[in-house]
Structure 1
Amino acid sequence: MRCQYVTSAQESGATQPTGSAQHQLDSDCTGLRILAVHAHPDDESSKGAASMAAYARRGARVMVVSCTGGERGSILNPGVEENRRSHWDLAGLRHREMAGAREALGVEHRWLGFMDSGLPEGDPLPPLPWGCFAKTPLERAAAPLVRIVREFRPHVILAYDENGGYPHPDHIMAHKVAVEAWEAAGDPRRYIAEGDAWEPLKLYYDRAFDVARFKALHEALETRGMHSPFAERIARFAESEPEGAPPVSRHQTTTRIPCADCFDVRDQALKSHVSQVDPDGFFFAVSNDLQREIWPYEDYVLAASRVEANLPEYDFAEGIDYRQTPETRRGNDQTA
């Protein structure tokens, strides 16, 4: 099947999506299957969580794949930092946190089984640890994901862009393995030990850190005379851009998923990751009521499609006749 790569709304001849108050997801998404590829446990709750919960609530099967266990992460919640037991078994703690997030979102989950690479710091940067995810040869790293794609048979894959959303080695590697699985899973000549071929139909990149969203919420807060947690972040964007220029990016939003009804579910999932998320921190600094008013959706880029793409769009399932494709067996919190 021919694959159309879509790098921006402009290149496809479409404008970016507008406000989605008039757009709603189908109330019954039974038969649709969505696979989201994430680097660490907690990434699924901070990037696209409300979208996944919205589809799961409407009957779609949604599966999250965590490429690593987050073993080399830091404890970011001051309330947990003082608990010595959290440091003794961070991997076990993060597995338990992921189970809570999975339950909150109503999704299925698989561990890809690779070791967290950590976030190198220093000048020069130290080498990555031996055997970590980011140093694994691509075909070896992608093989278990190809197997999951062929077993789960997703219509849609959600992934990071080539910068990983931000340049963490595991996020960049998660992008690479997701694209490799997208390209290879439908080819019976490749990864022949990983099951029968299955060709996903659409590949999206998450835009959780879209500066347009930050600016809209920032302006809404300032208009109301309220403190904005985005001021410093927006200032950093402005310093890195020529005056009057848009943010430097290969990608612009093509797809907005109306999911405001699941913002509270997203927050519940985030709070499941107690070692990583401060309940009084950045993620909860703006009320969900204001977010529903100003930005009631989550943003994505349609990076590639094997069905006709009519942009802009407001539903991952646009162009997919998912009710005609077969169901497959379930997997829940397993390692590939």
Structure 2
Amino acid sequence: MTNRPLTLMAVHAHPDDEATGTGGVLARYAAEGIRTVLVTCTDGGCGDGPGGVKPGEPGHDPAAVAAVREEELRASCEVLNIGHLELLRYADSGMMGWPNNDAPGAFWRTPVEEAAGRLAELMREYRPDVVVTYDENGFYGHPDHIQAHRITMAAVELTGIPAKVYWTTMPRSGMQKFGEVMRELGSDWEEPTLEEAAEEGAVQADGPEFPEIGLPDEEIKTWVDTREYGGQKFDSLAAHASQGENIFFLKMGKERFTELMGIETFVRVKDTTGAPLPEDDLFAGLR
């Protein structure tokens, strides 16, 4: 028998991604004594600069933005009590179709086998029992999210280490509720159509059909209650203050945020434990 601690590894694309879909499980499992490891693949340099200045606009300095976002990421990790932060430091690729996609050092243009090799080394070091990342569409079509999915699944294949692998998702009922809350708060938010997503750069207009975000509730078999940690999750998002203009969840306050985002949902794509579905614990079958 080994004394190695049970370990959760979350692989995300940018600083702040750790908070939205997995902030609850990272906080919950840290509180339960499970070792938590966050791998952030890019530097977030395509985020907003001071005053909300966007990439390509005068005054936007990707290196300076990346430096600020790394500080914010470390603050978020403290809030969530994440045990280990690993930075791959690839350049942020921006939204699909941006010139940044093909810039030297961009995560999107990095060969999968190269980045997967680096991630595989981290898996060998930490030996995670559970690995969490995005689905094959990167949840909403962002190239860095898609690439994070690709390198994670390749690293899992290379190492065979994790007993369980999950992709983040959201139930369609949650998407509907989110829209209701945003409109209640004065927003005209609606789930984007393919054409709107293409205009925003989330997908290519001539690319594959843009799938709906999330899944029908009945197709999701892993629902993890993290409402006890809703305040931490909210505060971890708030730590990314430089991107506050884009973090609409912060507009609803902690109570409404926890009500809306307090259950985190996943699709289990690898399991060697035989734990039955549905389940309410990523570590079911491991403890």
Residues 66, 110 of structure 1: 8 Å contact kept: yes
Taking the aligned partners of 2:77 and 2:27, their CA distance within structure 1 comes to 10
Aligned pairs for 1:303-318 within 5 A: 303-318=269-284
Instruction: Provide closer, same or farther for how the CA distance between residues 294 and 43 of structure 1 changes in structure 2, counting only shifts above 3 A.
Output: closer
Taking the aligned partners of 1:283 and 1:38, their CA distance within structure 2 comes to 19
Residues 217, 291 of structure 1: 8 Å contact kept: no
What is the TM-score when the length of structure 1 is the normalising length? 0.69
- SS of the aligned residue for 1:276 comes to helix
Residue in structure 1 matched with residue 204 of structure 2 by the alignment: none
Residues 120, 128 of structure 1: 8 Å contact kept: no
Shift of 1:155: 0.4
Higher relative contact order (CA 8 A, sep 6+): 1
More deviation in 84-93 or 148-157? Answer: 84-93
Letter in 2 for 1:115: A
Residue in structure 2 matched with residue 98 of structure 1 by the alignment: 73
Residue in structure 1 matched with residue 237 of structure 2 by the alignment: 270
Letter in 2 for 1:68: T
Shift of 1:171: 0.9
Which consecutive residues of structure 2, in runs of 5 or more, have no partner in the other structure?
A: 198-210
Letter in 2 for 1:96: E
- SS of the aligned residue for 1:40 comes to coil
Shift of 1:44: 0.7
- SS of the aligned residue for 1:308 comes to coil
Residues 249, 257 of structure 2: 8 Å contact kept: no
Q: Of 114, 119, 135, which aligns to 1:145?
A: 119
Does residue 1:233 correspond to 2:208, yes or no?
A: no
Does residue 1:74 correspond to 2:9, yes or no?
A: no
Residues 53, 266 of structure 1: 8 Å contact kept: yes
- SS of the aligned residue for 1:277 comes to helix
Residues 179, 190 of structure 2: 8 Å contact kept: no
Taking the aligned partners of 1:162 and 1:97, their CA distance within structure 2 comes to 27
Residues 139, 213 of structure 2: 8 Å contact kept: no
RMSD: 3.3
Shift of 1:59: 1.0
Residue in structure 2 matched with residue 10 of structure 1 by the alignment: none
Does residue 1:261 correspond to 2:236, yes or no?
A: no
Taking the aligned partners of 1:273 and 1:159, their CA distance within structure 2 comes to 20
Shift of 1:277: 2.3
Deviations 1:245-279 (A, max 9, x none): x9576783221111111111111111111222239
Residues 100, 272 of structure 1: 8 Å contact kept: yes
Aligned pairs for 1:19-98 within 5 A: 31-71=5-45, 73-75=46-48, 78=51, 89-98=64-73
Taking the aligned partners of 1:137 and 1:298, their CA distance within structure 2 comes to 31
Count residues in correspondence: 265
- Answer 1 or 2: which has greater helix percent: 2
Which consecutive residues of structure 1, in runs of 5 or more, have no partner in the other structure?
A: 1-29, 187-198, 241-245, 322-336
